[in-house]
């Protein structure tokens, strides 16, 4: 049996801080979105991915990839958003076996109304506490980590 490759002091300090961010940031984002828009962070992410898609429409399988979701979880969330009139589902015209999800006009209005508060929260807790150099470093750091976590770039497609 080989000896574990323990983290040195500097590596442990970096890891503990990254783990703290990974634990705390989702709650901060979720709290703001629930309070201001009645959406979870995942709800918002689904709406945002549709808002960026051509014709604000994606196959459910493509939406699942872009949101790193299983189809059952995504279907549950889309159903909830559909019940609120924010998304509609319909058979894919190119493949009757597939289902598309489309942002409705009400969903587009919701994402437009919600985005400013979300961006303010992201700025307050992440962007504005960093220098321009640190932003560049953060981009490089996350790109390096994402090469193993998201090698096909499904979640890291934004530039």
Q: 76 pLDDT band (50/70/90 cuts)?
A: very high
**CA proximity to 84, closest of 124, 53, 43:** 43
Structural domain includes residue 119: no
Six token digits for residue 62: 């493509």
Task: Tell whether 68 and 103 lie within a shared domain.
Answer: yes
Residue-wise pLDDT for 23-70, tens only, equals: 999 999 999 999 999 999 999 999 999 999 999 999 999 999 999 999
Structural domain includes residue 2: no
DSSP string, the chain: -PPP----HHHHHHHHHHHHHHHHHHHHHHHHHHHHHS--HHHHHHHHHHHHSGGGEEEHHHHHHHTT--HHHHHHHHHHHHHTTSEEEEE-SS-TTSEEEEE-HHHHHHHHHHHHHHHHHHHHHTGGGS-HHHHHHHHHHHHHHHHHH-TT-SS----
Structural domain includes residue 50: yes
| Domain span at 157 | 126-159
Structural domain includes residue 120: no
- Report the distance separating Cα 114 and Cα 100, nearest Å: 23
Sign of the C-alpha dihedral computed for residues 79, 85, 86 and 91 taken in this order: positive
Task: Tell whether 145 and 69 lie within a shared domain.
Answer: no
Residue-wise pLDDT for 129-157, tens only, equals: 999 999 999 999 999 999 999 998 888 76
Task: Tell whether 138 and 104 lie within a shared domain.
Answer: no
- Strand pairing category for 57-59 and 87-91: unpaired
Q: 159 pLDDT band (50/70/90 cuts)?
A: very low
Structural domain includes residue 98: yes
Structural domain includes residue 57: yes
């Amino acid at each position: 049996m080989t000896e574990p490759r323990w983290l040195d002091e500097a590596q442990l300090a970096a890891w503990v801080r990254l783990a703290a961010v990974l634990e705390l940031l989702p709650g901060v984002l979720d709290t703001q979105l629930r309070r201001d828009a009645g959406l979870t962070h995942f709800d918002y992410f689904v709406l945002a991915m549709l808002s960026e898609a051509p014709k604000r429409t994606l196959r459910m399988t493509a939406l699942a990839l872009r949101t790193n979701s299983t189809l059952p979880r995504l279907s549950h969330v889309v159903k909830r958003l559909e019940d609120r009139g924010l998304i509609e589902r319909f058979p894919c015209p190119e493949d009757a076996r597939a289902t598309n999800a489309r942002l409705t006009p009400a969903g587009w209005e919701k994402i437009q109304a919600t985005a400013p508060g979300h961006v303010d929260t992201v700025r307050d807790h992440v962007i504005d506490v960093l220098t321009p150099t640190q932003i560049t470093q953060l981009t490089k750091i996350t790109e390096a980590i994402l090469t193993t976590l998201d090698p096909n770039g499904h979640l890291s497609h934004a530039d």
